[in-house]
Amino acid sequence: MAVSMYDFSIPVFRHALGSLALVLGKGQVHCANHQLDESVLFDARLYPDMFPLHRQVQVSCDQAKNASAYLAGETPVGFEDTESTFADLIARIEKTRAALDQLGPELFTGMESEPVSFVVGAYRMVFPTGLEYLQRFALPNFYFHVSTAYDILRHNGVELGKGDFLGEMGAEIGPA
């Protein structure tokens, strides 16, 4: 069975974003159960020079939709960064997953060999191939921000475990 750039991007991003939405839902419940204003966690950071929780989620979504568009030879759709609640962040994740669903596998054919170029702030990044872009930037950067969002919530007392991060694995699990 041959696998494609689609197989290593869209399902991977969709799965991790789904887990992130569930993790955020647990953060929302934590706030309600502890009479904690959502803004406390929404604006929490691991360190003063790092992005707060809401920005980590926004960047996770942007990375997934932008990377997928680049790998499909498309122009990414832009999202406004207007979220102010956990419900808003979860809605953004669902909007991102819907954008990913618009990119069919046929768009990714041959993109592993094509260069990927884009602008981030004041810098242009150019990767010689889509495969190198996915392996060396898109996936690591995506998981950095997803992991950091999880870590911010966990650090602030939200009851989370590795299973929450991993989500549904599709594995049969039983005694050894």
Q: 41 falls in which pLDDT band (50, 70, 90)?
A: very high
Name which CATH class applies to 10-165. mainly alpha
HEC letters along 77-117: CCCCCCCCCHHHHHHHHHHHHHHHHCCCHHHHCCHHHCCEE
Q: What percent of the chain has pLDDT over 70?
A: 99
pLDDT in tens, 96-129: 999 999 999 999 999 999 999 999 889 999 999 9
Residue whose tokens read 């399902």:
11
C-alpha–C-alpha distance, residues 68 and 116, integer Å: 11
Q: Does pLDDT of 170 surpass 90?
A: no
Domain limits of the chain?
10-165
State the CB neighbour count (10 A cutoff) for residue 114.
Answer: 17
For residue range 135-163, list pLDDT tens digits in order.
Answer: 999 999 999 999 999 999 999 999 999 99
DSSP class of residue 159 equals: -
Q: Which amino acid is at 102?
A: Q
pLDDT given at position 174: 86
pLDDT confidence tier of residue 2, bands split at 50, 70 and 90? confident
